[in-house]
Amino acid sequence: MPSSRTRIMFACALLLAGSCAASRAQRVSAWMERQLEASRKSEQIMREADTHKGLLSQYLAMRYAYVSDTDPAFRVIFGQYLSWYQTFVGDYPHAAASFSIKEPALPDDRPSPLSNPDYTARPALDAIPELARHYRAVFFNEAHNVPLTRTLTVQVLGKLRAEGFNYFAAETLYQSDTKLQSRGYPIKGSGFYTEEPICAEMVRTALKLGFKVIAYEALSDATGDAREAEQARNIYNQVFRKDPKARLVLDAGYAHIQESGTFLGGSSMAEHLHQLTGIDPLTVEQTMLFPHQSAADDHPYYAAVMQQLHPKQPIVFVNRSGQPWSLRPGYDVSVFFPPQKIRRDRPTWLSLGGLRKPYFVSGNRCDRTFPCLVEARYADEGKDAIPADRLILDTLPLNAVTSDRVGNGLIIPVSDLYLRPGKYKLTYSDSHAAVLFQQDITVTDKSDDVLADDPPVPDRPRTVRKPLFACAPVGSVPSQFQADAAACPMP
């Protein structure tokens, strides 16, 4: 029996072109309606999951909801929701696989910098502070479910502070956390994305460096252009209106920082802010030229740059006159991230360019209770602090299938936390948030510290599923901030 798609194509062949277009329009409309319903269902599932005690239980509720519904429209939408929680628990490879945004070549792409001998690759950590020297504001964007795109921002904050930047703002920080600045570290109530340890480290680093941290998220239920305009007004009122000499570093998702073009049927936050202040920010694009879980999702320029230059750290291109290269209009400079390496199921970019060291952890401490959540908090922070790093240890892969259960059920899981040298409170807890083991630890400049009674265990085989879906985000944030769900093509 022919598929519905085959039948539609066959019918179109017999009808006038206008009728065929109408038929396809009906199909697209139906697909979008299914996605809207999936978005509503996803919101409901996330709200229910958040009532569970402890992050591990919340994550498991999200994972089971995904497994239990195979509808493609639901998985397109809910895969993004699940990916956020996967980043929260430190499962970065699977977060990138659950929601992957394919980066195709577009007509307005500029020629590859490799084709122009005037351009030279430079470490982004050096070039960006130099480029920012004469700007009042520097805007970085990120892919919310790919915290790799937050790592450079964390590393460059110190250099930007030395250049005189004194305010830091981040998307979805909550204005209700009025004690963030005095407390010095983020907690669960500080924001949405700050539940993820690298995002929390970004905010924590800004606080420690003396930045005044600003929450600019819209307080209304505005979406699209109205949300962008409200965000811009919040930034203006909290920063430039109060301090005409302020210099701002800002982190936001995707095209919220674009300086030209249409965004969500209107203007971006950055465009609205420019209209209010006249300030031209340095916009740093970080979401288009990083390694995807599937190379087929990478931008066509990416592989050539990696193969020719073999970078070990994020790079940008600058020409002889000091002008940076960007892939597309609307941004000043584009960042290429090097291919990621995986060690004990975790990407080594968690080292933040060597600032953090791998610290070995073993399932021996889980008291035979799996899955087991391992968290390391700075010793001088409270129990409510977002950990410096966290991960899940399980006898099974986090996306286990039947063959995994048969083959891996008896292997003691091991992995690495990535931590700056210093003192930490290490805890192991179960899915009911009960503490199974806790210990004060000291991380040294030497990597791979191992507890005395935990002998090294060989790596187990690692499987990361192929990306489930690849689509482009439209305002990729929870709908309590913006109701625009990811708009993906029909499968």
Same domain, 160 and 308: yes
Max CA separation in the chain (angstroms) = 76
Does the pLDDT of residue 235 top 70, yes or no? yes
Could you tell me the two tokens for 11? 């019918």
Residue 358 lies in domain: 354-443
Can you tell me the mean pLDDT for 289-316? 97
**Residue 465 confidence class, pLDDT cut points 50, 70, 90:** very low
**C-alpha–C-alpha distance, residues 419 and 361, integer Å:** 12
In this structure, is residue 459 part of a structural domain?
no
**Residue 264 confidence class, pLDDT cut points 50, 70, 90:** confident
pLDDT tens string 340-385: 999 999 999 999 999 999 999 999 999 999 999 999 999 999 999 9
169 φ/ψ angles, rounded to the nearest 5 degrees: -135, 145
Can you tell me the mean pLDDT for 13-39? 68
In this structure, is residue 215 part of a structural domain?
yes
Same domain, 201 and 166: yes
**Residue 29 confidence class, pLDDT cut points 50, 70, 90:** confident
In this structure, is residue 469 part of a structural domain?
no
Q: Pseudo-torsion of CA 289, 295, 301, 306, nearest 10°?
A: 80
CATH of the domain at 422: 2.60.40
Between the alpha carbon of residue 16 and those of residues 8, 12, 19, 23, 134, the distances in Å are: 13, 7, 5, 11, 59
Can you tell me the mean pLDDT for 406-410? 50
Same domain, 327 and 376: no
Query: Look-up: residue for tokens 């889980």?
Result: 366
Report pLDDT for 399.
55
Same domain, 53 and 128: no
CATH of the domain at 288: 3.40.50
Q: How many structural domains compose the chain?
A: 3
Report pLDDT for 409.
52
Does the pLDDT of residue 439 top 90, yes or no? yes
Same domain, 164 and 271: yes
Same domain, 202 and 306: yes
**Residue 5 confidence class, pLDDT cut points 50, 70, 90:** very low
Between the alpha carbon of residue 208 and those of residues 90, 159, 217, 344, the distances in Å are: 23, 13, 22, 30
Q: Which amino acid is at 318?
A: V
Q: Which amino acid is at 291?
A: P
pLDDT tens string 95-122: 999 999 999 999 999 999 999 999 999 9
In this structure, is residue 466 part of a structural domain?
no
Same domain, 34 and 89: yes
In this structure, is residue 160 part of a structural domain?
yes
Can you tell me the mean pLDDT for 36-52? 96
**C-alpha–C-alpha distance, residues 73 and 94, integer Å:** 19
Report pLDDT for 410.
61
In this structure, is residue 479 part of a structural domain?
no
Same domain, 246 and 362: no
Can you tell me the mean pLDDT for 303-310? 98
Between the alpha carbon of residue 425 and those of residues 111, 195, 382, the distances in Å are: 50, 18, 10
Between the alpha carbon of residue 77 and those of residues 69, 87, 383, 445, the distances in Å are: 12, 16, 33, 42
In this structure, is residue 481 part of a structural domain?
no
**C-alpha–C-alpha distance, residues 185 and 269, integer Å:** 26
Mean pLDDT of the chain, nearest integer: 87
Same domain, 374 and 324: no
Report pLDDT for 31.
85
In this structure, is residue 71 part of a structural domain?
yes
**Whole-prediction pTM:** 0.87
Same domain, 261 and 150: yes
Same domain, 64 and 180: no
pLDDT: which is higher, 399 or 262: 262
Between the alpha carbon of residue 186 and those of residues 62, 183, 202, 384, the distances in Å are: 23, 8, 10, 8
**C-alpha–C-alpha distance, residues 280 and 282, integer Å:** 7
**C-alpha–C-alpha distance, residues 336 and 154, integer Å:** 16
Domain boundary among 41, 64, 98: 98
Does the pLDDT of residue 202 top 60, yes or no? yes
Domain boundary among 334, 367, 392: 334
Which helix (H) or strand (E) element contains residue 380?
Answer: none
Same domain, 252 and 382: no
Report pLDDT for 405.
44
Residues making up the chain, counted from first to last: 491
